[in-house]
Chain A
Amino acid sequence: MIRLDNVSKVYKGQIAAIRDATADIAKGEFVFLVGPSGSGKSTVLRLINKEEQPTAGEIWVAGKMTNNLSPWRVPYLRRNIGSVFQDFKLLTNKTVQENVAFALEVIGRPRHVIRTQVPAILELVGLAGKHERFPHELSGGEQQRVSIARAFVNRPLILLADEPTGNLDPATSDGIMRLLDRINRTGTTVVMASHDQGIVNSMRRRVIELDRGTIVRDQSRGVYQ
């Protein structure tokens, strides 16, 4: 589903953010990217999402090499990839259901599809009955559920999560992880960057560890260490 072939990323005039990284992530896998701050976890996610261009190497997403993808095709690539962030990135002036519907509107889904899919996904993430709330009226965990609903409402092949529990307390984080696990069980490939040891250790999934831009460990059913 996702393949990195000797990928490097060097920002102008700086040391390499990613150095010669190679990894192959199969469809339906759940992968943790771990490592200290600045080790390149977010950069890997941004490379997959084509928010960044690799300096060297090849990146394959859903069977296509994305290196030379023309700019106007990038949006279509992203429709196969849902993204979740530490800071949720919700639109504060839209309600819960508007935030989720937004993701379908901007890719031109007809209204009757939106009307059935949005309530279904909100039910799935456990926000039934909070459709009309605004983000500031919700707890952090609930806001992250809205953000996950928005990322998943289009049923993408891949879900990228960048420290999705970084702002949440342990109990709330567990809830979010159960939700991501549930999404993973539907066949969606999940790649999650995290430095939360407890979560990584309790999930026992594949772990790819980065250190200063280099992959130093790739272990199935691994722990944080």
Chain B
Amino acid sequence: MSKVLYALRETAANLRRNLTLTIATFVTVAVALTLSGAALLMRNGVNDITARWRGGVEFIVMMKPDATKEQIDAVGNDLKANPIVDANKLRFFDKAQSFEEAKIILADTPTLIDALGLEGSPTQWKVVPTTPDPDVIRGVADQFQNRPGVLEVIFPAKYLQRLKQLTGLLQGMILGAAITLLVVSALLILNTIRLAMFARRREIEVQKLVGATNWFIRVPFMLEGLVQGFVGALLAFGGVWGLNRLFSTRVAKANEVDVLSAAVASSGEVRGLGILLLVIGVVIGTVGSGLAVSRFLDV
């Protein structure tokens, strides 16, 4: 019991005594964890944005102008039955609708509109896939390419795959940055604690000489690291929450940039991240100071 009280008293006294160093550690942990936390939130945001884009990608099965009604219906029924096709969003454009669409698309070149004409216009199945995976969509699109009556399957494969690559790259970069920041913050904490310990190496030396056990010396330092990590992480939690808040109000004001709204983290996401940051802060602080003190215990 007296040992527990001693450890608590020592911890409180040390935190108070090295106030500037304590504050420096708080700030170091807070800044590093805020940056890592923000990076992780950004990673989620990018994921959400690209998911929205991918979800919005359609492909079109364009039928020949002279395709028979049976051919059109056969393709339509098969599309409806396909599991990756959202049957409720499947739309059919007849010649008139296709011609209207063509007029809009080809507005710059009226000669082409005249050449196409209502009779020359194809009919179309506009397909909304249920999966965002471009490779799966491509497989299904290819199945319809050679069906009788099909003129062409228009599928923005190139762009989708490019988007997929780009998203992967961006996420990788952000994850890399987040991990780097975490490692840097771990090193900073370790260094700060080592500095605090260096200032007290004489005290440790005396403790060893009068017969204190290693754990008896180590525990107050580890508690100190725990407090520093916890408070720093708490500040970082506040920082990330504030940043997300700032971002979401900006996005809300500029509501035409709809796609960005996907990047705003929900309060659940932020809370989860906060807990993660607290765990990381506490673990780094406690384990870091435990390791740092070991160097000085070797007397």
Contact = CB atoms under 8 A, between A and B. Distances in A.
Interface of A: 49, 51, 71-72, 75-79, 83, 89, 91, 93, 102-103, 105-111, 150-151, 154
B207 A106 contact: yes
Interface stretch (B151-159, B210-218, B278-286): B210-218
Interface stretch (B27-35, B93-101, B198-206, B240-248): B198-206
Contacts of B216: 106, 108
Given A79-B210, A89-B209, A106-B212, 5 more contacts: A51-B299, A75-B211, A75-B212, A78-B209, A105-B6
Give 10 closest A-B pairs by Cβ, nearest first: A106-B212, A79-B211, A78-B211, A103-B210, A75-B211, A75-B213, A108-B3, A106-B207, A83-B209, A110-B2
B17 interface: yes
Contact of B212 (A89, A93, A107, A111): A107
Most chain A beta-carbon contacts within 10 A, residue among B3, B206, B208, B217: B206
A91 B17 contact: no
Contacts of A105: 2, 6
B interface, over-half SS: helix
Nearest to B9: A105
A107 B211 contact: yes
Interface in B40-76: none
A83 B210 CA distance: 8
B209 A111 contact: no
Contacts of A91: 202-203, 206
Contact of B210 (A71, A78, A93, A111): A78
26 contacts: A49-B209, A51-B299, A75-B211, A75-B212, A75-B214, A77-B211, A78-B210, A79-B210, A83-B209, A83-B210, A89-B205, A93-B17, A102-B206, A102-B210, A105-B2, A105-B6, A106-B6, A106-B210, A107-B210, A107-B212, A108-B3, A108-B6, A108-B216, A150-B210, A151-B210, A154-B211
Interface residues of B, number: 19
Nearest to A83: B209
Contacts of B3: 108
Interface in B1-26: 2-3, 6, 17
Contacts of A109: 2
Nearest to A150: B210
Contacts of B211: 75-79, 106-107, 154
A108 to B, nearest CB: 5
B17 A108 contact: no
Contacts of A150: 210
A76 B214 CA distance: 11
A154 B214 CA distance: 19
Contact of B214 (A51, A72, A83): A72
Most chain A beta-carbon contacts within 10 A, residue among B207, B208, B211: B211
Contacts of B2: 105, 108-111
Most chain B beta-carbon contacts within 10 A, residue among A51, A75, A77, A111: A75
A79 B216 CA distance: 14
A78 B214 CA distance: 13
Contacts of A111: 2
Contacts of B217: 106
B3 to A, nearest CB: 5
Given A106-B207, A110-B2, A111-B2, A72 B213 contact: yes
Contacts of A103: 210
A118 to B, nearest CB: 13
